[in-house]
Amino acid sequence: MGNEFLDYYGKYNISPVHQNIDDFNLHMTRRKKLYRQLGMPIKLFRDARVLEIGPGGGYNTLCFFQWGAKHIDLVEANKAGIDNMRENFALYGIDASLYDIFETKIENFSSENYDIIIAEGFLQYLSNSGEIVKKLKGMANESGIIVVTCADDFGDFVETMKRMIAHSFIKEVSEHNERVKILSHIFEPQLKSLQGVSRPVEDWVQDQFLNPALTNGVEWTIANAIEDFSPEFETLGCSPHMFSDWSWYKNIWYDMKTQYLAQYKMRRFSLFLAGMEERAVDPDIVAEIDLNVRRAKHSAREYEISYDNTLFLKASEDMESLCHLVQDIDPNLHSVFCQIRDAFRDINEAGICWNRYPDLFKAFGRGMQYVGFVRQ
């Protein structure tokens, strides 16, 4: 089965997942917080046998070594990523006996009995994610933990709308590096406004705006993940921390899966914007919002194929509906949606001027969610 991520990275010989880890303690602090949200104190990595799939340059893997992992198997099919990983491991003096690198896709890799499996940043865009999850479950040991990432149409919506705008700037440009240069210049100020960002703008542009996998229509959500890991695994934790469990510890019959799925439907609205306070929204209203979101995203996908500017007018109508739907729920999101609508209209009239859209300029969604699962 094809993999658009690997095809794209291989075509341009890139691994656009570099991180600035000059302040390594800061890097570890960020990762500690992630795993704490997932219900995984870092002591779990001590003497653990770890499998990491798609580690790219191994920036996050360096934390596992620091936390005392016994051995790490790294499955990475992108040669540029492997080269970067070897450079980083050499730079940080990682003993070669502590790891093995396998240049292959996870579908072609076989092993088992891992304490911890990390599958970060790719499952949510693959049409065969369910098959891969089934394989991962068989590779974890009897108390194994698996960490995956998910994507939601709400969480990546703002970036998808920015991507549509971005392609209006490069529709006459075909050369990849020139496209990256143009979009990096335009969007660097926006990325720098996001507190805590550690990724170079060129890498962010190549993945967020030019990677075809991100607009292939595949969506593997937290709800999908919970279903796919059930019944052998239960949810250990989530980042952002979406779920609450008020059950009595002696109530071993508590249906966590049903409760978490219901909470996801009510709380996924808060994925629209990074930093948004929790908003529990009626599932019927969420369903109506979801319909308009999918329509607008469909126009964005169609635009990258045809570069037909009338699609901006069509998408602006969906944005108008979204403005009405969210105006009484979250004023900041309402402003962002209205400015997306205005930008879409301006493309066919006065042209884009970011000064007219200050809230959209600084808006980012919760594009990727982490979920940890533990074998029951």
Cβ distance 226 to 260 under 8 Å?
Answer: yes
Q: How many CB atoms lie within 10 A of CB 16?
A: 23
The per-residue pLDDT for range 249-300, each reduced to its tens digit, is 999 999 999 999 999 999 999 999 999 999 889 989 999 999 999 999 999 9
Cα–Cα distance for residue pair 313/347, rounded to 1 Å: 9
CATH number at residue 95: 3.40.50.150
Q: Quick check: 366 pLDDT over 70?
A: yes
258 found inside a domain: no
Whether residues 137 and 103 share a domain: the answer is yes
Q: Quick check: 245 pLDDT over 80?
A: yes
3-state secondary structure of 210: coil
Q: How many CB atoms lie within 10 A of CB 182?
A: 15
Whether residues 109 and 182 share a domain: the answer is no
Whether residues 142 and 181 share a domain: the answer is no
- Helix/strand/coil (H, E, C) string of 98-148? HEEEECCCHHHCCCCCEEEEEECCCHHHCCCHHHHHHHHHHHEEEEEEEEE
Cβ distance 57 to 79 under 8 Å?
Answer: no
Q: Which of 263, 282, 281, 290 lies closest to 330, judged by CA? A: 281
Q: Give 52's strand partners.
A: 74, 118
Whether residues 171 and 58 share a domain: the answer is no
Reply yes or no: is the peptide bond before residue 41 cis, omega within 30 of 0: no
Cβ-based neighbours of 15, under 8 Å, separated by 6 or more? 9, 56, 57, 78, 80, 81, 83, 84
Cα–Cα distance for residue pair 84/205, rounded to 1 Å: 19
pLDDT of residue 280: 86
Whether residues 192 and 56 share a domain: the answer is no
State the total domains in the chain: 2
Whether residues 46 and 138 share a domain: the answer is yes
3-state secondary structure of 237: strand
Which pTM does this prediction carry? 0.96
Q: Quick check: 1 pLDDT over 70?
A: no
Whether residues 169 and 313 share a domain: the answer is yes
As a whole number, mean pLDDT of residues 28-40 equals 97
pLDDT of residue 283: 87
3-state secondary structure of 371: strand
pLDDT of residue 348: 83
